[in-house]
């Protein structure tokens, strides 16, 4: 572990204190990290900090980690099966996902749930010496595989590894130019929090790309849909558009691998979008989007409304203009009375 400046407490985003038990140059090989909460402590072993929070993970997260720990040594036997099944090239699909990140040689990049580093290679090879690449994974066994896979890139770019939950990322706000996750989203215990964490750590204007299984809706009642969802129930998952953060801009979704996987991308904005609410609307009703929402007064009786509509038509102005005029006039009369 070389770079410490961008790490923060996964519990409260607070500053951390690093203690080195042994080092090589500036790199901490073994040591510990403490936060400002009572008993908040994380270990560094063989250069990899373990920021797992909470310590007692949600059941599905713990089950997923346990599965990955067992699979790590033989994962090569399984990794290409989805790509072979759908006549897809893993290399080409990962290259296209990486293209969506809009990387430069000096980008600061995060990959969440990087597994054994298969996708990480496609990112690392595009980065230069001034770039930073943070590789995060919940399974230490998988992460060790990624470390081995990415060693050939460590001479040309800076790579940091950490064990952490995708829902509690140990990084400062507005740290990254881009973030990628592919392949574990459907098993995350709190997908909304995951998206919010990505938006928190990626800078405004940065790109976020997330993908996983989700059989396209138009294929679910076909033979391919029924066969594949029976074999892999994760393909039944729907893309959760309803939990995307309000900061998501220019949202795009693409179904890849014969429509069995989705790739969702968006640019990070600041806060929720703000439209031009104050454009005058040239209609009989008139007003603006803003006045139609915030200018609502108590309703009148239906018969009075009919009369008002006829009067508005006779004088030839919008209802908004007419009501503004008469309400203002009558209000000012009353306020002037002693």
The answer for residues whose C-beta is within 8 angstroms of residue 111's C-beta and 6 or more apart is 119, 120, 123, 133, 134, 135, 136, 179, 180, 181
Are 97 and 113 in the same domain? yes
Residues 253 and 324 in one domain: no
Query: Are 317 and 243 contained in the same domain?
Result: no
Same domain, 21 and 85: no
What CATH number did the domain enclosing 160 receive? 3.40.50.150
**Does a structural domain hold residue 317?**
yes
Whether residue 277 lies inside any domain: the answer is: no
Asked whether residue 281 is domain-assigned, the answer is: no
**Any domain includes 273:** no
Domain count, the chain: 3
Q: Tell me, yes or no, whether 214 and 171 share the same domain.
A: yes
Same domain (yes/no): 261, 148: yes
In a domain, 248, yes or no: yes
- Regarding whether 206 and 220 lie in a shared domain, the answer is yes
Q: What does the pLDDT profile of the chain (338 residues) look like in tens digits?
A: 888 889 999 999 999 999 999 999 889 999 999 999 999 999 999 999 999 999 999 999 999 999 999 999 999 899 999 999 999 999 999 999 999 999 999 999 999 999 999 999 999 999 999 999 999 999 999 999 999 999 999 999 999 999 999 999 999 999 999 999 999 999 999 999 999 999 999 999 999 999 999 999 999 999 999 999 999 999 999 999 999 999 999 999 999 999 999 999 999 999 999 999 999 999 999 999 999 999 988 888 999 999 999 999 999 999 999 999 999 999 999 999 86
262's enclosing H/E stretch is: strand 261-268
- The phi, psi pair for 3, rounded to 5°, reads -95, 120
Structure token digits, residue 297: 């007064």
Based on the fold, state whether residues 201 and 86 are members of the same structural domain: yes
Domain end (from 30, 47, 64) = 47
301 in the same domain as 222 = no
Q: Do 8 and 73 lie in a common domain?
A: no
Q: Do 230 and 321 have their domain in common?
A: no
Give the domain extent around 324: 289-336
* Residue 31 maps to a domain: yes
Domain contains 275: no
* Final residue of a structural domain among 47, 67, 85: 47
- For 304, the enclosing helix (H) or strand (E) is helix 302-315
Q: Is residue 274 part of a domain?
A: no
Show the DSSP H helices in 57-126 as ranges: 59-71, 81-85, 90-99, 120-124
Handedness of CA 192, 193, 196, 197 (dihedral sign): negative
How many CB atoms are located within 10 Å of the residue 80 CB? 13
Claim to verify: residue 114 and residue 261 sit in the same structural domain: yes
């Amino acid at each position: 572990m070389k770079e410490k400046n961008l790490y923060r407490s996964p519990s409260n985003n607070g500053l951390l204190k690093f203690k080195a038990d042994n080092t090589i140059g500036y790199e901490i090989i073994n040591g510990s990290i403490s936060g400002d909460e009572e008993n908040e402590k994380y270990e560094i072993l063989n250069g990899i900090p373990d920021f797992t929070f909470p310590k007692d993970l949600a059941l599905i997260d713990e089950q997923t980690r346990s599965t990955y720990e067992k699979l790590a040594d033989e994962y090569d036997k399984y990794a290409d099966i989805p790509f072979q099944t759908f006549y897809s090239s893993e290399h080409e699909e990962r290259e296209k996902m990486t293209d969506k990140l809009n990387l430069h040689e000096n980008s600061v990049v995060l990959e969440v749930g990087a597994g054994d580093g298969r996708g990480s290679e496609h990112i690392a090879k595009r980065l230069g010496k001034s770039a930073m690449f943070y590789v995060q994974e919940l399974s230490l066994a998988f992460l060790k595989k990624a470390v081995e896979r990415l060693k050939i890139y460590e001479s040309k770019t800076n790579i940091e590894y950490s064990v952490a939950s995708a829902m509690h990322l140990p990084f400062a706000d507005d740290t990254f130019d881009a973030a990628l996750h592919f392949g574990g989203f459907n098993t995350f215990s709190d997908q909304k929090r995951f998206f919010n964490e990505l938006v928190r750590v990626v800078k405004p204007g940065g790109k976020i790309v997330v993908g996983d299984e989700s059989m396209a809706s138009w294929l679910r009642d076909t033979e391919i849909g029924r066969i594949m969802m029976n074999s892999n129930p994760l393909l039944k998952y729907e893309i959760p558009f309803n939990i995307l953060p309000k900061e998501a801009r220019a949202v795009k979704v693409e179904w890849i691998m014969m429509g069995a996987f989705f790739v969702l991308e968006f640019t990070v904005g600041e806060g929720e979008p703000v439209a031009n609410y104050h454009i005058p609307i040239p209609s009989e009703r008139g007003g603006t989007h803003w006045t139609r929402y915030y200018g609502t007064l108590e309703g009148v009786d239906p018969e009075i409304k009919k009369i008002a509509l006829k009067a508005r038509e006779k004088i030839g102005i919008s209802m908004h203009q007419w009501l503004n005029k008469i309400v203002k006039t009558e209000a000012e009369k009353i306020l002037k009375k002693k």
